Structure 1
Amino acid sequence: MSRVVLFEMNSQDPERAANFYSSVFGWKIAEPNWGYHPVTTGNDDKSGINGGISKGPSDFPHGIRIQIEVDNIDEALTKSVESGAQVVRGKMEFDDFYLAYLVDPVGNGIGLIQNK
């Protein structure tokens, strides 16, 4: 079973968003890496789902997207498209993982992530 492992908040003003979530909810927000501010929402005593805040691209300028961890991103992309999803960004390679963005059949933005 694939599970939700991260969230991603897109904003045209990620610094402002980071300041808001840090001051209101106490989230720990790290310095940006690739324009992505890593976010920690829990600790050892009380866990949370971590994620990040970044500047949204023109095709997804703002909103929240979950990241679903999969064992095989190529297979998950194929099944997603066969089931009515639309690929927004195909498989991208990063140092430790692969990432792709989709819109599901009802219009929700999701990400797929496969660790290397």
Structure 2
Amino acid sequence: MTVNVYDQANALESALRQSEEFQNMKEFYGKVNENPESKALFDEFREIQMNLQQKQMQGEEIQEEEVQKAQKSAEDIEKDENIKSLMEAEQKMSQLIQDLNRVIMKPIEELYGLENQN
């Protein structure tokens, strides 16, 4: 019996969309976007994060003022209940994905684990 891994992956994608973790993220993301102050803070935070990541990947030096701006933005979003709820939901979704990754990687880890014992 041949298993189509891509069919299984598509089924997993569908299950993720229906999961409580994803539904919570979707709900809180909607609340952030419905509130102009939350949306502005969230967009600014994401832009700062992306810029810093891009600089880091390109090996550019990150200036102290950029670090301070990122810290200030992080402090601001922690005060916003809509964004705080979204971040907590993102954390739970991230944990779910990490758990799934461990399950997916298990056959490979077992394979190499068995080979190393021989």
TM-score range, shorter chain: under 0.3
Which has the higher Rg, Structure 1 or Structure 2? 2
More strand by share: 1
TM-score norm. by structure 2 comes to 0.18
TM-score norm. by structure 1 comes to 0.18
- Relative contact order higher in (CA < 8 Å, ≥ 6 apart): 2
